[in-house]
């Protein structure tokens, strides 16, 4: 909670001088050193720090790559090859940046599912969560734009397929979709003009993400961190100062994560990409299977599951947009799924549905694959629109610990647990922000 | 190579596991005929593999005497043949090789404003015989022999495995560092020329290949049974179809990924550093948290 009393003491005359004019050291001390963090955070809470690292790593490698990259249809592919062959450690930078996008999404998906499991989207963290949804959207846009830059076959055809989605708007107002598509392309086909503007936007959007991340962290420090119990920090013993406790844990997790990152960069630089992208873009030859990067596959499956083109596009965007509404769709009196015996199963089913959609997105849209993509797409939306409100309303939560401290020290559950007698659990009508 | 040996037991256990899993799920070629791509024992395979310099030298000989009559290698410069982690030919020998290369460099304009042809230098690319795609197609009966500089990275082997073995197979590939799909494909292609099966409708001027998508390929069998080139006495291997195919594949794998040796060497240094640091941080974290009950 940001309203904890400041404990910052300027130690020198200069520090005091600054503190009276622009108290940045005080803010850093209060928010990142002395900040109270719940004492029961598990390793899933380290992904915020990991994601900050991912963003900075992408910015640094990207800025250096941009010094050598040429955003023209004739030279883009050659310049990326030149970076890998002739720029000092270019092969490393290029692999870090390309693998980095996959690692960024891996971390953000863990981060999102952690939030879903422990109810981190519930009051008073709705704005924090919605900012996260915007960050996800901006990340997707950035990754899509960036994937076009190597100007390989898969780059070119991914841009063609995805920008063409907007042409489905022609069925609403004739000419609207085509107009938007030609405006995006800067011409009548995907061309060098498209590549050049995509490069410009790919350089811009990460800074938008950076701004959103600052707001995200700000909102986090106003509401305070959620934790595995979903209970609020009530007494001083429920929390520990961020430094050294949370920082020490974050550091372990970050380095463990970087091991995975480095494994792909140094031993499997091509594993997360597609071989067709080592063939220069050719508008006259369509690859046999056009598939997006792995992190877009579930959304690609949803897009293709709907028989109508415009419907597919709407479903795909809705699958992200719906996340912004879940703070109000979830009707459970408790935050954490740990205490939700029925919803728990639905959570794992939802995770399975997302993984299944990912697998189906990598398969051709035919036969049994389409059938299952439709089933899991239906569940994806049903989970938010039906399961969250209905299960939340009818389920009786299990006994909650009295406080975070009790949960850590293993004391018996407090007053707010469910009663076995069937009635409304004590305090279930209380606002969730207290539980 | 030491690093390679330390993980070998893990690799073989996982490979056996994978082999058991793979049974009954043959990879399918795009043409519909079941084509199984063998995974070969490349010297540069896995997390510890490195190029075999002698093999790259033999492979370059195959490229020069067989492939270069149609295929360019333009992303590779003659100077790269001298560099560490490649065939590591002697610089003077490569200068001579470049000067004798049949495909000259068009340079210019000169002081009179005219373009002229000159012998390649170390800094020049390894050019193929055709000026452009149009010339290649007109001579090659409409087919275009692609540049081979990136060929092993631009091809891969698709495993059409059932959904339930997808995850264990991915895990096996990630843990063993399997990145040789393109090389496995290329070797299979070069050794995959066969008589077309009865009833197969082979277009005129095309050749049957068991591994090429659609099974019809314009390129005639480039390496005959028994091999296409004479290896020198001290080359380290006897010439044969299989040996030539293997060597030229290894050479092209290097051409596509010339930093592999350096990358994997650096990889183990980085891994060692990261693992030790992670452990130290973990013990530091344990010690810090021992101050409080948790």
Report chain A residues whose CB lies below 8 A from the CB of B80.
85
Task: Find, in chain B, the residue whose alpha carbon is nearest to that of A259.
Answer: B274
Half-sphere exposure at residue B135, Cβ-oriented, CA atoms within 13 angstroms: 7
Which of A39, A264, A268 is facing B292, going by the closest CB pair? A39
* pLDDT of amino acid A413: 56
* pLDDT of amino acid B19: 43
Show which of residues 358-387 on chain A sit within 8 Å of chain B, judged by CB atoms: 359
Burial (Cβ within 10 Å: 0-12, 13-18, ≥19) of residue B288? middle
Across chain A, mean pLDDT equals 93
Which of B179, B256, B270 is facing A268, going by the closest CB pair? B179
The interface predicted TM-score (ipTM) is 0.90
Please, which residues bridge with residue B209 across strands? B193
Q: Which two tokens stand for residue A345?
A: 């199963």
Answer for the pair A387, A343: CB distance below 8 angstroms, yes or no. Answer: yes
Phi and psi (nearest 5°) for B24? 85, 5
The domains found in chain A, sorted by start residue, are 24-292 (1.20.810.10)
H/E element, B57: helix B53-65
If you average pLDDT over residues A263-271, what whole number do you get? Answer: 97
Contact B270 A85 (CB under 8 A): no
Task: Find, in chain A, the residue whose alpha carbon is nearest to that of B263.
Answer: A266
Question: Which of B163, B262, B287 is the mutation pick for testing A, counting most A CBs within 10 A?
Answer: B163
Q: Which two tokens stand for residue A197?
A: 């503007």
Rg (CA), chain B: 23
Contact A262 B47 (CB under 8 A): no
If you average pLDDT over residues A260-273, what whole number do you get? Answer: 97
If you average pLDDT over residues A52-73, what whole number do you get? Answer: 98
- Listed as ranges, residues in chain B with pLDDT below 50 are 1-33
Contact B285 A248 (CB under 8 A): yes
Phi and psi (nearest 5°) for B208? -85, 130
Q: Which two tokens stand for residue A405?
A: 């401290």
Parallel, antiparallel or unpaired: strands A36-38 and A239-241 = antiparallel
* pLDDT of amino acid B163: 82
Least confident segment among A270-274, A431-435, B280-284: A431-435
Q: What is the rounded distance in angstroms from the CA atom of residue A375 to the CA atom of residue A305?
A: 9
Q: What is the rounded distance in angstroms from the CA atom of residue B227 to the CA atom of residue A224?
A: 71
* pLDDT of amino acid A3: 60
- Give just the sign of the alpha carbon dihedral A265, A268, A270, A272: negative
What contacts A195, CB < 8 A, 6 or more positions away? A71, A72, A73, A76, A148, A149, A151
Contact A245 B292 (CB under 8 A): yes
Q: Which two tokens stand for residue A58?
A: 């992408």
Which of A248, A262, A268 is facing B284, going by the closest CB pair? A248
Burial (Cβ within 10 Å: 0-12, 13-18, ≥19) of residue A306? middle
* pLDDT of amino acid B106: 94
Task: Find, in chain B, the residue whose alpha carbon is nearest to that of A154.
Answer: B154
**Residue A5's pLDDT band (cuts 50, 70, 90):** confident
* pLDDT of amino acid B25: 36
Q: Give the closest residue to A302 by CA, choosing from A292, A314, A284.
A: A314
Which of B30, B153, B267 is facing A278, going by the closest CB pair? B153
Contact B177 A267 (CB under 8 A): yes
Q: What is the rounded distance in angstroms from the CA atom of residue B159 to the CA atom of residue B19?
A: 13
> Which tens digits make up the pLDDT trace of A109-164?
999 999 999 999 999 999 999 999 999 999 999 999 999 999 999 999 999 999 99
What contacts A157, CB < 8 A, 6 or more positions away? A286, A287, A290
pTM (predicted TM-score)? 0.91
């Amino acid at each position: 909670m940001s309203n904890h009393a400041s404990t910052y003491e300027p130690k020198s005359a200069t520090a005091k001088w600054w503190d009276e004019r622009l108290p940045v050291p005080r803010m850093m001390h209060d928010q990142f050193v002395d900040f109270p963090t719940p004492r029961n955070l598990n390793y899933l809470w380290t992904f915020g720090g990991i994601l900050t690292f991912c963003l900075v790593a992408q910015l640094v490698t990207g800025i250096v790559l941009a010094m050598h990259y040429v955003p023209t249809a004739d030279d883009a592919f050659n310049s990326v090859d030149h970076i890998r062959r002739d720029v000092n450690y270019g092969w490393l930078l290029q692999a870090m940046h390309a693998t980095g996008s996959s690692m960024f999404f891996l971390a953000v998906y863990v981060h999102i599912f952690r939030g879903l499991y422990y109810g981190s989207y519930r009051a008073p963290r709705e704005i924090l969560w919605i900012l996260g949804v915007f960050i996800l959207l901006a990340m997707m846009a950035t990754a899509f734009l960036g994937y076009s830059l190597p100007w390989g076959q898969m780059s070119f055809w991914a841009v063609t397929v995805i920008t063409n989605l907007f042409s489905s708007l022609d069925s609403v107002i004739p000419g609207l979709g085509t107009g938007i598509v030609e405006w995006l392309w800067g011409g009548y086909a995907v061309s060098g003009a498209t590549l050049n503007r995509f490069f410009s936007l790919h350089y811009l959007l990460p800074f938008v993400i950076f701004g959103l991340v600052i707001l995200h962290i700000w909102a986090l420090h106003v509401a305070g961190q959620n934790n595995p119990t979903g209970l609020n920090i009530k007494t001083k013993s429920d929390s520990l100062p961020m430094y050294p406790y949370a920082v020490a844990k974050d550091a372990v997790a970050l380095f463990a994560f970087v091991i995975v990152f480095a494994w792909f960069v140094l031993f499997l630089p091509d594993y997360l990409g597609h071989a067709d992208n080592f063939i220069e873009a050719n508008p006259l030859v369509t690859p046999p299977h056009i598939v997006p990067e792995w992190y877009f596959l579930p959304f690609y499956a949803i897009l293709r599951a709907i028989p109508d083109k415009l419907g597919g596009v709407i479903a795909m965007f809705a699958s992200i947009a719906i996340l912004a509404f879940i703070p109000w769709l979830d009707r459970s009196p408790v935050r954490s799924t740990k205490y939700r015996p029925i919803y728990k199963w639905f959570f794992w089913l939802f995770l399975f549905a997302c993984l299944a959609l990912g697998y189906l997105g990598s398969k051709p849209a035919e036969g049994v694959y389409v059938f299952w993509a439709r089933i899991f797409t239906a569940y994806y939306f049903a989970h938010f629109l039906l399961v969250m409100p209905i299960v939340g309303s009818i389920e009786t939560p299990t006994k909650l610990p009295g406080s975070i401290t009790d949960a850590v020290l293993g004391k018996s559950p407090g007053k707010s647990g469910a009663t076995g007698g069937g009635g409304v659990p004590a305090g279930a009508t209380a606002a969730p922000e207290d539980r | 190579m030491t690093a390679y040996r330390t993980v070998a037991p893990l690799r073989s256990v996982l490979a056996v596991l994978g082999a058991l899993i793979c049974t009954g799920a043959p990879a399918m070629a795009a043409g519909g005929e079941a084509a199984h791509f063998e995974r070969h024992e490349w010297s540069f395979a896995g997390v510890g593999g490195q190029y075999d310099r002698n093999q790259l030298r033999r492979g370059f000989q195959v490229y020069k005497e067989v492939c270069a009559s149609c295929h360019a290698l333009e992303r590779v410069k003659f100077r790269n043949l001298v560099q560490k982690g490649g065939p590591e030919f002697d610089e003077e020998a490569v200068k001579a090789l470049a000067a004798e290369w049949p495909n000259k460099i068009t340079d210019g304009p000169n002081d009179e404003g005219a373009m002229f042809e000159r012998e390649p230098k170390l800094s020049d690319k390894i050019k193929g015989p055709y000026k452009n795609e149009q010339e290649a197609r007109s001579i090659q009966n409409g087919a275009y022999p692609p540049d081979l500089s990136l060929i092993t990275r631009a091809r891969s082997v698709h495993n059409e495995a059932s959904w339930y073995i997808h995850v264990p197979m991915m895990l096996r590939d990630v843990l063993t560092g399997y990145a040789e799909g393109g090389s496995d494909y290329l070797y299979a292609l070069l050794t995959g020329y066969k008589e077309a099966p009865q009833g197969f409708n082979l277009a005129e001027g095309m050749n049957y290949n068991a591994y090429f998508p659609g099974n019809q390929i314009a390129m005639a069998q480039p390496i005959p049974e028994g091999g296409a080139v004479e290896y020198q006495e001290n080359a380290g291997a006897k010439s044969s179809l299989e040996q030539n195919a293997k060597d030229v594949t290894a050479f092209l794998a290097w051409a596509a990924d010339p930093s592999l040796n350096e990358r994997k060497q650096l990889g183990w240094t980085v891994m060692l550093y990261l693992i030790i640091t992670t452990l130290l941080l973990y013990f530091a974290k344990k010690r810090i948290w021992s101050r409080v009950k948790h």
